[in-house]
Amino acid sequence: MSVKTILLLVVILAASCKKDDESIKKIEPTVYVGGDGQFGNHSQIKYWKDGLEVPMSTDAYGGISLSMFVDGKDVYVAGQGLTGYSLGAKYWKNQTAVNLTEEHSSILNDIVGIARDIYVFNKDVYVAGYEWNGTEDVAAYWKNGESVHLSSDPHSEATSIFVTETDVYIAGNEWNGKNSVARYWKNGKVVNLTDEPSSAQAITVVDNNVYVLVNSYDKGISYWKNGTQIKVTSGEPKTIAYDFFVSGSDVYIVGGEWNGEDYLGKYWKNGVGTDIRDKDSYAITTCIYVLDDDIYIGGYLSPYGKPATAVYWKNGVMTKLTNGTSSSFASDICVIK
Beta bridge partners of 93: 76, 96
pLDDT tens by residue, 64-78: 999 999 999 999 999
Q: Is residue 2 part of a domain?
A: no
**Could you tell me if residue 175 is inside a domain?**
yes
Q: How do beta strands 250-258 and 282-291 pair?
A: unpaired
Q: Tell me: the pLDDT tens digits for 236-268?
A: 889 999 999 999 999 999 999 998 888 999 999
* Residue 215 covered by a domain: yes
| E strand or H helix that includes residue 7 | helix 3-23
Do strands 146-149 and 157-163 pair parallel, antiparallel, or not at all (unpaired)?
unpaired
| Domain assignment of residue 8, yes or no | no
Three-state SS letters, 262-307: CEEEEEEECCEEEECCCCCCEEEEEEEEEECCEEEEEEEEECCCCC
CB 285 within 8 A of CB 266: yes
Domain count, the chain: 1
Q: Is the dihedral of CA 253, 254, 258, 264 positive or negative?
A: positive
Distance CA 319, CA 298 (A): 10
Amino acid identity of residue 54, one-letter, is V
Q: State which residues form the domain around 203.
A: 32-336
Residue 5 resides in a domain:
no
The Cα-based distances of 165 to 135, 169, 194 in angstroms read 34, 11, 28
Show the low-confidence residues of the chain (pLDDT under 50): 1-23
Total Cβ atoms within 10 A of residue 290: 18
CATH for 270: 2.130.10.150
70 falls within a domain: yes
In a domain, 24, yes or no: no
pLDDT recorded at residue 233 = 96
pLDDT of residue 137: 86
pLDDT at 134: 79
The answer to whether residue 18 sits within a structural domain is no
